[in-house]
Amino acid sequence: MYLKKTSLFIILGILSSCASFSPFEDNKFYYKNGYQRVQLDVENENIKNIHPIKISPQRIEGALKLIVTKYGSRAEPLFQKQKYHPYSVSISEALAEAKPNQDVVFTVEGWYKKKTLSDNRVTSGRVFYNKNGLNLIFGSVMRKGNMSETDPMISYGINPDLIKNPYAPGSRYQSIRSEYILSTIPNSGVFRPKEAKGRTDWLVFTNKALQARGDLTADQKKFATGANIQVQGLRDEVQQLKKELQSLRNPRQPGLYGYPQYQYGQIPPYQQPTYPPPQQGAYPYYPPPPPYGYQVPPQQYYPVQKSQTQNLSLKSLEKMRERGLISEENYLKKLKELGY
């Protein structure tokens, strides 16, 4: 009898420990509905986010409304309308309580109709705020989810492998390819950070994107599917390259000491010289006029620009070549002028 009781206690202890085993066990749920959840998670103890931070639910909802994907033949927002409010509120609350090494993780499910059939689709992600803005790393994007709630290993996120578990959150160190391409409307303030290194599942929302807004119109959704999300800071870099390219094509730019730059052999335009007023009692001097039909340029130093590419670095030249801003012939010519 004693042995049976002891065995029963051991079995109950094992079952209770298994039921409670979860990497999110000690974290409270800011939102919980079936497999859907919003919680805090530590992916790397050395991560230093700008947490805690207060971002209103209205601003987070405005950012979520900007994410568009294509399902079937239509472009639709990634998050369904009924998901905006609970997730924007819970993510806002979690960010306000998060520690610097903690991220906000979420899982959202939805039934999406494709032709005559409906599928249960799962989207998961990781949210944190740093110097770039509000980061959102997607784990799953509309992957097929469970048809029933019978798998506790998945429901509690015990398996962190994104390949095997569509409910696992996004990661800085792991990414899976999705058939659904994320997009947004142009000039919305949504970028891909440089740290993503080509990943399309990592987005950054700047203050321009973190604004309260209404639902996207049909034209905006259609236009967003053909747009590409740019890398953060790339636009400024391209603008700088364009300025350097313009300096190549336009030699009449201010040069050294404020004088214009002229090519060798060019005659600068005549400028009327100025003379100091004559001193009182001194005989005034007036220079003779130039010969009829010819204007003599003043004796003035004009720096000669030997090569318009001297101000260009090799790195800038390489970037121009990659983006098609300079032809291969001109690229080789400029390299030779730079001495390479």
Please check whether residue 82 lies inside any domain of the structure.
yes
End-to-end CA gap in the chain: 91
Residues 242, 222 share a domain = no
pLDDT tens per residue, range 92-128: 999 999 999 999 999 999 877 666 667 788 999 999 9
Does this model's pTM top 0.75? no
Pick the more confident residue, 44 or 20.
44
- Which amino acid, 25? E
Using an 8 Å Cβ cutoff, are 189 and 209 in contact? yes
Amino acid identity of residue 187, one-letter, is N
Copy the structure tokens of residue 15: 């079952």
Q: Are residues 209 and 253 in the same domain?
A: no
User: What residue numbers bound the domain in which 33 lies?
Assistant: 21-230
Domain co-membership, 42 together with 147: yes
Asked if 90 and 192 sit in the same domain, the reply is yes
Q: Are 193 and 204 in contact (CB under 8 A)?
A: yes
- Model confidence band, residue 56 (pLDDT cutoffs 50, 70, 90): very high
Side chain identity at residue 68, one-letter code? V
pLDDT tens per residue across span 145-172 = 774 555 554 544 557 777 888 889 999 9
Same-domain status, 254 and 177: no
Say whether both 243 and 101 belong to one domain.
Answer: no
pLDDT at residue 312 above 90? no
Q: Are both 117 and 65 inside the same structural domain?
A: yes
Domain co-membership, 248 together with 338: yes
- 74 plus 148 within the same structural domain: yes
| Domain co-membership, 186 together with 314 | no
* 135/118 Cα distance (integer angstroms): 31
Answer whether 191's CB lies under 8 Å from 231's CB. yes
**Domain count of the fold of the chain:** 2
* CB 28 within 8 Å of CB 37: no
